[in-house]
Amino acid sequence: MPVRLNRGGLLHVSSDMAVNLDALRPGFTDDPYAVLKSLRDAGPVHRVETFGVPMWLVTRYPDVRAALDNPQLSSHGSALAEPLRGHPHFASWWFGDLSDHMMNSDAPDHTRLRRAVSSELTPRRIASLRPRIEQLAASLATAFADSGRCDLIADFAAPLPITVIMELLGVPTVDQENFRYWADVVTGLADGDASSAREEASGYLRDLVAHKRTSGDDDLIGGLARATGEAALTDRELASLSFLLLVAGYTAAVDLVGNGTLALLRHPEQLELLQRSSSLLPGAIEEFLRFDGPTSHLLRFAAQPVTIGGVQIPAGDVVLLSLASAEHDSARYPRADQLNIERADRQHLAFGHGIHFCLGAPLARLEGEVAFRTLLDRCSGLALDTTQPLGWRVSLGSRGLRALPVTFRTKPTMPLDEQATIKVPKPL
């Protein structure tokens, strides 16, 4: 047998066959780090199979970081071997109606698309969102404060960023419930037909882009729709970019708050330390991103034969860059498997590296800071509700919870004025 686990969850790796990661689920979904450690210790690159696709898994920090900036590894679907292009995951994400975005492109198209978005998604614009994010977080916390328990994902971590993203993109209020439903299904936060949800979102975004071309609305899509010259985008590109910002911007913040809170609850001494000194929060957020970040793996395609960690990878093959493994590489981080909110080394890979470094990272950090500060200010005695199960999403690239039941005691607070009580769209 090429794969077997001992009682400690460690993987025994055989070099003669690919490791089938799907055979290790649900344990690998719930906690991939023991398996990744075994693979990392056994070698820098391994042949694996997941979701029915053979891939090369890169496990160690130096190799993953270098690969993220290696032009021999393409983000464009044209570099993928022909037999794999019909696989449902590749067909929808790399060849579908919403596939013409930065994450799927190489230079020079990537340079053009990124420049267009960065001209609108500026640091000043992101910073200006702070009052609204604080208002939303306060309203959400007030809604569940008296109950002494909540599902932190459904009641707080999810509605906060999806509302911010929808308002940033300029989605009309009347459409926001449908829009959130599509986002929840596509990202795996809710059950449903992901293909249908993606198709409905595609049609809606095409219509929204057409409207924004002439509306004069002062939102992100409106600004991008009116751009001219080199910054001008086609309808397909603008709809694709909107979809990318929706999916990536949503899950990054949800998983930062969800995974980070769970890490604190499992390391109560770190939670106590953060409660005593809120000045540690910015560094704590960076440690949450490293310790159990939103993006677990990134896909690349070998545009030509490439050697990684001494392993020759043929052109057209899929390369799975394991950020989750790299961030737990003890050769890079001392005591890498321990949460340490005072860790000085903050050069993590949670938002990528190189030309594809996440443009939305400042927004995710801002939402995370506001969310954690709100929880610390409003809730004491925060603990896992052990009467309810945790729920993890099964995903190729992202790592996040579907449910995080918690209990707490509400701290006294000044009542919000009427303007701070905000209706947040619920999933359909």
Q: What is the pLDDT, as a whole number, of residue 11?
A: 59
Q: What is the pLDDT, as a whole number, of residue 2?
A: 41
Give, as one character, the DSSP assignment of residue 405. E
Domain 3-420 sits in CATH at: 1.10.630.10
**Least-confidence region, from 123-132, 225-234, 401-410:** 225-234
380: enclosing H helix or E strand: strand 379-384
Q: What whole-number distance in Å separates Cα of residue 189 and Cα of residue 187?
A: 6
Tell me what the mean pLDDT of segment 309-325 comes to. Answer: 97
CA 355, 91, 321, 368 torsion-angle sign: positive
Q: What whole-number distance in Å separates Cα of residue 186 and Cα of residue 70?
A: 29
According to the per-residue pLDDT averaged within each range, which of 225-234, 325-334, 417-426 is highest? 325-334
Tell me what the mean pLDDT of segment 413-422 comes to. Answer: 43
Q: What is the pLDDT, as a whole number, of residue 306?
A: 97
Per-residue confidence band for 233, with pLDDT thresholds at 50, 70 and 90: very high
Give, as one character, the DSSP assignment of residue 107. T
Q: For the chain, which residues make up each domain, given as ranges?
A: 3-420
Percentage above 70 pLDDT, the chain: 93
Q: What whole-number distance in Å separates Cα of residue 261 and Cα of residue 404?
A: 9
Q: What is the pLDDT, as a whole number, of residue 139?
A: 97
Q: Above 50 in pLDDT, residue 415?
A: no
Q: What whole-number distance in Å separates Cα of residue 174 and Cα of residue 153?
A: 23
Return the bridge partners of 306, or none.
313
Q: DSSP alpha helices (H): ranges in 14-158?
A: 27-30, 33-42, 61-68, 88-95, 109-120, 123-127, 130-145, 152
Write down the pTM of the prediction: 0.91
Q: Above 60 in pLDDT, residue 411?
A: yes
Q: What is the pLDDT, as a whole number, of residue 84?
A: 86
Q: What is the pLDDT, as a whole number, of residue 96?
A: 87
Per-residue confidence band for 404, with pLDDT thresholds at 50, 70 and 90: very high
Q: What is the pLDDT, as a whole number, of residue 286?
A: 98
**Long-range contacts of 277-285, Cβ-Cβ distance < 8 Å, separation of 24 or more:** 278/373, 278/376, 280/341, 280/342, 281/369, 281/372, 281/373, 281/376, 282/369, 283/341, 283/342, 283/343, 283/346, 284/260, 284/341, 284/372, 285/256, 285/260, 285/365, 285/368, 285/369, 285/372
Q: Above 90 in pLDDT, residue 88?
A: no
Tell me what the mean pLDDT of segment 134-163 comes to. Answer: 96
Q: What whole-number distance in Å separates Cα of residue 410 and Cα of residue 222?
A: 41
Q: What is the pLDDT, as a whole number, of residue 396?
A: 83
Average pLDDT, the chain: 91
Burial class of 188 by CB neighbour count within 10 A (0 to 12, 13 to 18, 19+) = middle
Contacts of 30 by beta carbon, 8 Å cutoff, 6+ apart: 390, 392
Tell me what the mean pLDDT of segment 229-238 comes to. Answer: 90
